[in-house]
Amino acid sequence: MSCPNCNKPADAKYRPFCSKRCADIDLGKWLGGEYTLADEETEAAEAAILDHPKKGDPLH
């Protein structure tokens, strides 16, 4: 398994990361809101947006 941040081999002590530094970087992303867990309402809203492009959108 490789570290999801830098792709170096994972260290058993910090698995799935290679080091405390990479584990802390990932924790910072969670705490900073870069990662989120979508609920059903959010997924439905995103699907509706994708199904109905705005006027003037190049794909519309």
Query: 32 is written with which tokens?
Result: 């900073």
**What pLDDT is attached to residue 56?**
62
Residue 18 lies in a domain: yes
Cα separation, 57 vs 41, whole angstroms: 24
Predicted model pTM: 0.60
Residue 9 lies in a domain: yes
Query: 50 is written with which tokens?
Result: 């994708």
- Number of helices and strands in the chain (H, E): 2, 0
Residue 58 lies in a domain: no
Query: 55 is written with which tokens?
Result: 């006027």
pLDDT tens figures, 17-49: 999 999 999 999 999 989 887 777 877 787 788
- Does the pLDDT of residue 50 top 80, yes or no? no
Which residues are CB-contacts of 25 (< 8 A; sequence separation ≥ 6)? Answer: 5
The CATH number linked to 7 is 3.30.50
Which range marks the domain in which residue 6 is found? 1-53
Total domains in the fold of the chain: 1
Of residues 36 and 59, more confidently modeled: 36
Read off the pLDDT of each residue in 5-15 and give the average, rounded to a whole number. 97
Residue 12 lies in a domain: yes
**By the 8 A CB rule, do 30 and 24 touch?**
no
